[in-house]
């Protein structure tokens, strides 16, 4: 896979990165159900064997467990991938999650992530979610700058930020990257965040390009109905009616487009997210080596303009039908 420069950094990243959310395992607020660590390690190692050169995780995934699994997967490797992680979502002894970008919290999280990941420096450290207070966001960003100065963080990014929040911290220090949700089902960032990032030279790392597994082609109503109790997707509108039927119809269109090229619906969905040149890379999660093999070629797959138009026309007609139904 060819690489792309991420924002103002010296990081040349592959268009696909390994997403480590689900490998945090079960039993916490935003879990995907239980997960076998051995399969997680095999998935990470297969991704690296197939050319992916970065991993995106977060402290809160599995309440620290995802970072520990990433460290185990990378143990003893001569050539290490870039490791990106996030702070700002903290938990108490009962596992209750809150948000904090206070200076002492950001610093404490950074030290804990360094320890769990077994690294001296985090390649890209990101705020996971903003807080309401701009003053607290500013306090946290100033702490990030200090951590970078101390050599504990190489580059600084944010996730799920608005343009106003980006503008606020850009006055303090440059933002290397924004990580927004971006898929055929979630395109809100097209109106403001993506144009802003293009103007400002901020890298964009799209997360959930396959809409949390919904656009992979492997999702069915039966599978959704059988989600374990601790799978957060049970409560997502994307996986509930009437949205589920519309989304599965979209998958069938992606399947037809992919069949022309010997590609899966998931690869078509990822290629669609990567079609915009402002998107530097896409985070793709996997829970097994086989899942990695199923999406790995999306990084060098390009949709024709008429295929993009066909997909977007379908989406537009689907939205119109939905609005008519509620009229």
67-110 pLDDT, tens digit per residue, is 999 999 999 998 899 999 999 999 999 999 999 999 999 999 99
Q: φ, ψ for residue 209 (rounded to 5)?
A: -65, -20
Q: Write down the pLDDT at residue 78.
A: 87
Report pLDDT for 154.
Answer: 98
Please tell me what DSSP assigns to residue 220.
Answer: -
Q: What is the pLDDT of residue 191?
A: 96
| Per-residue confidence (pLDDT) for residue 324, from 0 to 100 | 52
Which domains can be identified in the chain, with CATH numbers? 4-326 (3.20.20.100)
pLDDT at position 326: 52
DSSP assignment string, 13-73: E-SEEEE-SGGG-SSSTT-BS---HHHHHHHHHHHHHTT--EEE--TTTTTTHHHHHHHHH
Q: Which residues are part of the catalytic machinery? A: 61
Question: Which residues in the chain come in under a pLDDT of 70?
Answer: 320-327
pLDDT of 316: 86
pLDDT for the residue 318: 76
What is the C-alpha to C-alpha distance for residues 15 and 284, in angstroms, rounded to an integer? Answer: 10
3-state secondary structure at position 187: coil
């Amino acid at each position: 896979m060819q690489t792309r420069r991420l924002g103002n950094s010296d990081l040349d990243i592959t268009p696909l990165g390994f997403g480590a959310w689900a490998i945090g395992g079960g039993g916490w607020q935003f879990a995907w159900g239980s997960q076998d660590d051995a399969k997680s390690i095999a998935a990470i190692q297969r991704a690296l064997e197939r050319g992916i050169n970065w991993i995106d995780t977060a402290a809160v995934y599995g309440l620290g467990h995802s970072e520990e699994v990433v460290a185990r997967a990378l143990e003893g490797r001569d050539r290490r991938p870039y490791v990106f992680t996030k702070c700002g979502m903290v938990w108490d002894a009962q596992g209750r999650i809150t948000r904090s970008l206070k200076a002492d919290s950001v610093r404490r999280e950074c030290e804990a992530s360094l320890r769990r990941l077994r690294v001296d420096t985090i390649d890209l450290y990101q705020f996971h979610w903003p807080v309401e207070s701009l003053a607290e966001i500013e306090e946290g960003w100033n702490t990030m700058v200090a951590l970078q100065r101390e050599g504990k963080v190489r580059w600084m990014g944010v996730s799920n930020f608005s343009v106003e929040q980006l503008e606020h911290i850009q006055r303090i220090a440059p933002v290397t990257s924004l990580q927004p949700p971006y898929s055929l089902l979630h395109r809100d960032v097209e109106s403001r965040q993506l144009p802003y990032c293009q103007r400002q030279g901020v890298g964009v790392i799209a997360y959930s390009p396959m809409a949390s597994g919904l656009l992979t082609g492997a999702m069915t109503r039966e599978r959704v109905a059988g989600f374990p109790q601790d799978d957060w997707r049970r409560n997502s509108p994307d996986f509930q009616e009437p949205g589920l039927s519309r989304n599965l119809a979209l998958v069938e269109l992606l399947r037809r487009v992919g069949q022309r090229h010997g590609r899966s619906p998931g690869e078509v969905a990822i290629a669609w997210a990567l079609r915009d040149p402002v998107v530097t890379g896409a985070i793709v999660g996997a829970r097994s080596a086989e899942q990695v093999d199923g999406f790995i070629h999306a990084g060098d797959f390009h949709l024709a303009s008429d295929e993009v138009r066909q997909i977007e026309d379908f989406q537009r007609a689907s939205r119109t039908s939905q609005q008519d139904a509620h009229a």
